[in-house]
Amino acid sequence: MLATEIVDLRTALEFLATIPGQLVSTREPVDPVAELAGVYKLVGAGTPVAPPTRVDGPAMLFENVKGYGMPVVTGVLASRPRTALLMNSSIGRLPFDLLEALNHPRPPVVIPGGEAPCQEVVLRPPFDLRTLIPAPTNTLRDAGPYFNMGLLRAEDPETGESDVTIHRLCVQGPDRLSVYFVPGRHIDQFRIKAEKMGRALPVSVSMGLDPAIYLAACFEPPTTPLGFDELTVAGALRRRPVELVECVSVAAKAIARAEIVLEGEILPGERIREDAQTLTGYAMPEFPGYLGKAQPALPVIRVTAVTHRRNPILQTIVGPGEEHTNLVGIPTEASILRLVESSMPGRLRNVYCHSSGGGKYLAILQFVKRSESDEGRQRQAALTAFAAFPELKHVILVDEDVDLFNTIDVLWAMTTRYQGDLDTVFIPGVRCHPLDPTQSPDYHPSIRAEATSCKTIFDCTVPFKQKERFRRAEFVAVDLAKYLPDPAREQGVREAQEIVRATTRPGDSLVEDLLRERRREVEREKDA
């Protein structure tokens, strides 16, 4: 199977199952309350999950979730190499491919309900979300079970313009969810408009999707302004439109090939404390690596119907970790490339939103100085990134001979091409992100308000006039395949085999079932 054939979560898993080290499956019973996340923390969650954890581990399918008949998959995008494979791209090419898709959008299409896999099974009230779907908790201090890979879709009640975004959804009762919006999010603007009219806002929550849809949905302003439909980017990435379907219980549309869809409406004037069910004081782990505080009064979604595919798979994210970094970081990289290219063409070679910043706080910019007049432009590129993305805190600038995806190489550049008192630019008192615990008067009295930070540029580039002095030792190029087999491939196979031995039992797995079903579908299509 090829990456270009991926149309949904199932075909994505089928694709990964053909590549050694990218997907493992276990039949061992696992508790969705903290235990599932505890397992994947060790398998492949990655930084900023506290050590011990693993970077670039496989995605993992939990087939036997205690108390439920529904499997759970996590880590689909928790590795940049795997994300590149799923997008038919490469590690360095990913942001450029997203940028290309952004510049050539392909609008979604609406298909009839009878053709939508997500409506193979339709459940109407009464139902109990808490026993129906195995929403996990990451830690024992979470506010409750969360759906954290649910793509929320709604339309502006005045203009009809649509938006899709991922928000954390805490299960608060049989048919109630709380939804947390960072101030300024577009669907929250729709909600505010509807509430002022005294109306509920119809919404859909689609879970278990083609990875391209999740990536596209994580673009942010100013790249995708209010009214921009991010699904057009997903359509361009796949070179086919995203399929939508009308919901069965509310005036909203959902992703037609989703595994599970929650239909509902955000109720006007109704609020709930996020940890109302547990009173822990906390929400769930946030992307910087710390437990987030429970919000005192969040909007409420009343779920009016649940639709799903036959034998659905719940997709979740174990966070904080690499999956969050890739989801938010790669679209941000594309946006920074776009903005800097428009102001100084050909200078910015690439961008990496580093895992240690959760894809938001730290960006590494690889800058090319072509002449003496380019000296200083590298810092202008950093300022451009800061101006566009207020959540960005630190920028590290490196030359084109530094591998920006290799942290050791970046730290080498900082060690040998950087002097703290000469090459650091401080921009104090700037609005940043509220989840950084250092950005508070509690951290230091000089910080005047919450979410205020000192943005910092670390210029680890060589002065243009001294390029020859800083030339790295050059080695002769060779064809390693003549001397050694592919070490990365062999290592990946060994690691995958070790994980399989540690986490699986003998016999057929759900992954194998998916592959068999796919083969049967292909044969049926041939016969038809």
Is 286 labeled as catalytic in the residue annotation? yes
User: CA nearest 319: which of 291, 294, 338, 299?
Assistant: 291
Task: Enter the DSSP assignment of 30.
Answer: B
Name the DSSP letter for residue 471.
Answer: P
524 burial level (CB within 10 Å; 0-12, 13-18, 19+): exposed
CA–CA distance, 386 with 408 (Å, rounded to integer)? 24
Is the link from the previous residue into 48 a cis peptide, with omega within 30 of 0? yes
- Distance between CA 524 and CA 79 in Å, rounded? 34
Helices assigned H by DSSP within 397-505: 407-416, 487-503
**Bridge partners of residue 166, in order along the sequence:** 151
**What letters, b where the CB count within 10 A reaches 16 and e where it falls short, cover 153-165?**
bbbbbeeeebbbb
Q: Per the residue annotation, which of 155, 195, 220, 286 is the catalytic one?
A: 286
- 322-343 vs 377-388: helix crossing angle, rounded to 10: 120
Report the alpha-carbon distance of residue 207 to residue 212 in Å, rounded. 13
Catalytic residues: 286
